[in-house]
A and B are shown apart, each in its own frame.
Chain A
């Protein structure tokens, strides 16, 4: 058996490869893991392998079915995702998937639905999916992708086979960036470090420089916010919450920042993610206690969860900043 074109995640890949070759892929799979860790790539490769018409070593990558999956128009594959970065996965999308699965496969023996960001499904949408999860047609396979299983309905999780993906080792990402993307060593080291092992993020940072710039802007903004006074902060937040910035992503960057501050404060050995901002981080570390940092990290995590539930973004950020204020 030759390998799938997937970096790392050996256990999950081996497990799925075996299921494909023995033709017993579960009807419902739940792939969890941090953003950009490779969930969609894995699901997509699984779909390609299941729809591939080659006799062995699927996906072959060259047959008509493989090429159609790659181009995104295989008639037996449907990918549904929430509308927009802050959007919800609506019940209409789930209904469309049900309609899709109600009819027999077109070219293959299987029919697959990949559901991206399932954690953003509305309660109604999640419940609508239960029926299909309960008794799917023999040819139907559902692959749900989500950040973690805790944010999903237990009734959904219990009906799926779960595959948890973890961030890759940073050196592996660094190596891949150099060998596959021909990124210069220093840059590869930096991107791999910032990515924290989320290969998709690093690749995107290479392909779309604005993605990296966005992060740098977010970090700069965060450092600026930390050293400005309350009225300035509130004014900045007002603009932020009304802009179409992906706030969850922004909070994720803040977390990276606070992690580094915590590392400095505890004088830990681990390398800083934001090595470039060391002086500013050190300044910040002098002003706060470890207890305050851990409390803040917890609050940011809670805020990220709340953002998924359609709360008032401005209010949420303001409360978060007031918590930051106490650190001054």
Chain B
């Protein structure tokens, strides 16, 4: 293998795939990054066997080849180099990568690329596609609600249901549920439902960044992995095996109280209440009265604080308590100016939506007021 490329491009590419390099692993080869020539470009790849990232960098390829190199050292060195051409040469015999950049020379002892896990690649004509902006927003609204409890593995994932014209993403951790629908760019004939690790989805959100081109989504046979194809990057993720709970049964079908309130004001009030709530298991009380909503928190040791907000209230008065962290999470993820809370009693789950946005819905369990 012999090629040259620009330091900036290589450094950027490594920063993208480097996120998939595991910090702890029982398989030493996973600490390496794969460098391979591919159709006149340099292909970089890394995987932690849960998610893998492949990124293509423009390069002038003299001879084809592949090698794997210890990721951390290679990335640190490339980042330290001046913004010039980097020449990379692999000695196939000793699996050594030699790097030259201006006055800098370095060499890395590699491991045969054959030993690296097989990285799946999308076939041409991806089965599904969504707008990057939609997906980015949907991920920010859904992934945070996934559980961190590894003993209940399916809940650590995000459910992705592809059906007809719609992709529905849902996640829940037993206390809250986030559901977001986004349109598919072209309808699909066969419905498909998979559970994707939330960590992979969070990484996907990061990689999408500011890209505007549509994201193509495909699966490998026999539905072992899902691939998200971005402009110069492909993220592949293993799936979580199992049956996702029927989340639709958790969504309350009716409510007696509707509260419409400014999103930013409510978020601000919650953040203020959190100062007192964080010492008392994060409980905040929402007192709903005639045309107003009071957010208050009370700490036996510290004191108390409350914010009264003007709100459009329909239905009887109610006092209900929530985990303030959960409210902050969902209010930060909604981007309409106003939100609506749909409630029934202090012990029934509440629904939070953006006013005028039917594509997103959040259900949150109340906390016990303990009186």
User: Cβ of B49 and Cβ of A103 under 8 Å apart?
Assistant: yes
CA distance A68 to B29 in the complex (A): 11
Task: Check if B224 sits within 8 Å of A105, measured CB to CB.
Answer: yes
Cβ of B96 within 8 Å of any chain A Cβ, yes or no, is: no
Is B125 at the interface (CB under 8 A from chain A)?
no
Cβ of A137 within 8 Å of any chain B Cβ, yes or no, is yes
Query: B114–A64 contact, CB under 8 A?
Result: yes
CB < 8 Å A-B pair total: 52
- Which residues of B are found within 8 Å of A103, using beta-carbon distances? 49-50, 197, 238-241
- Interface membership of A109, Cβ < 8 A: yes
Residues A75 and B27 in contact in the complex (CB < 8 Å), given A103-B197, A106-B224: yes
User: Is the beta-carbon distance between B153 and A106 smaller than 8 angstroms?
Assistant: no
Complex Cα distance, B50 from A98, in Å, reads 14
* Chain A residues, CB < 8 A from B29: 73
Tell me whether A106 and B49 are in contact in the complex, defined as CB-CB below 8 angstroms, given that A68-B115, A73-B27 are known contacts: yes
A102 near B224 (CB under 8 angstroms)?
A: no
Whether B153 and A107, one on each chain, are in contact in the complex, defined by CB atoms closer than 8 angstroms, is no
* Contact in complex: B118, A99 (CB < 8 Å): no
B221: min CB distance to chain A, Å: 10
B151 neighbours in A (Cβ, 8 Å): 95
Q: Are A73 and B240 in contact (CB under 8 A)?
A: no
B242 in contact (CB, < 8 A): yes
Question: When the two chains form their complex, are residues B239 and A107 in contact, meaning their CB atoms are under 8 A apart?
Answer: no
Whether B49 and A109, one on each chain, are in contact in the complex, defined by CB atoms closer than 8 angstroms, is: no
Tell me the complex Cα distance, A139–B224, Å. Answer: 10
A73-B29, A103-B49, A103-B50 as given contacts; A67 in contact with B114, CB under 8 Å:
yes
Across the interface, name the chain B residue whose C-beta is closest to A137: B241
The answer to whether the Cβ of A71 comes within 8 Å of any Cβ in the partner chain is: yes
Number of B positions contacting A (CB below 8 A): 22
A116, chain B: closest CB distance, angstroms: 14
Smallest beta-carbon distance A276→chain B, Å: 43
**How close is B270's CB to chain A, nearest CB, in angstroms?**
34
A122 at interface, CB cutoff 8 A = no
Q: Which residues of B contact A104 (CB under 8 A)?
A: 223-225, 238-241
Instruction: Count A-side interface residues using an 8 Å CB cutoff.
Output: 21
B117 contacts the other chain (Cβ, under 8 Å)? yes
Task: Say yes or no for B150: interface residue by CB 8 A criterion.
Answer: yes
Q: Residue of B at shortest CB range from A136?
A: B241
The 0/1 profile, CB within 8 Å of B marked 1, for residues 102-127 of chain A is: 11111101000000000000000000
- A73 to B27 Cα, complex, angstroms: 6
Q: Contact between A102 and B242 (Cβ–Cβ < 8 Å)?
A: yes
Q: How far is the CA of A95 from the CA of B153 in the complex (A)?
A: 11
* A106-B118 contact in complex given A73-B27, A99-B153, C-beta closer than 8 Å: yes
Specify which of A71, A101, A137 is in contact with B115 (CB 8 Å cutoff).
A71
Q: Hey, what's the 0/1 contact readout for A75-111 against B, CB within 8 Å counting as 1?
A: 1000000000000000000010011011111110100
Point out the residues of chain B lying under 8 angstroms from A73, CB to CB.
27-29, 115
Partner of B240, one of A95, A102, A138, A139: A102
Taking each of A64, A104, A105, A140, which has the highest tally of chain B beta carbons within 10 Å of its own beta carbon? A104
How distant is the Cα of A182 from the Cα of B329 in the complex, in angstroms?
70
CB within 8 Å of A: which of B174-214?
Answer: 197
Q: Closest B-chain residue to A105, C-beta based? A: B224
- Nearest to B236 among chain A residues (CB) is A106
CA distance A68 to B242 in the complex (A): 28
Residues of B within 8 A of A138 (CB): 241
**Within 8 Å CB of B241, what residues of A?**
101-104, 137-140
A107 pairs with B118, CB closer than 8 A = yes
- A73 to B150 alpha-carbon distance, docked (Å): 24
What is the bound-complex CA distance between A95 and B151, given in angstroms?
Answer: 8
Which residues on the B side are within 8 Å of A101 (C-beta)?
241
A137 to B225, CA, bound (A): 15
Chain B interface (Cβ within 8 Å of chain A)?
A: 27-29, 49-50, 114-115, 117-118, 150-151, 153, 197, 222-225, 238-242
Q: With A102-B242, A103-B238, A103-B239 given, can you name 6 additional A-B contacts, CB distance below 8 Å?
A: A73-B28, A102-B240, A104-B223, A104-B238, A106-B49, A106-B118
Going nearest first, the 7 A-B pairs with the smallest beta carbon separation are A137-B241, A103-B238, A102-B153, A104-B224, A104-B239, A75-B117, A107-B118
What are 9 pairs between A and B in contact, CB < 8 Å?
Answer: A64-B118, A71-B115, A95-B151, A103-B241, A104-B225, A104-B240, A106-B49, A106-B117, A109-B222
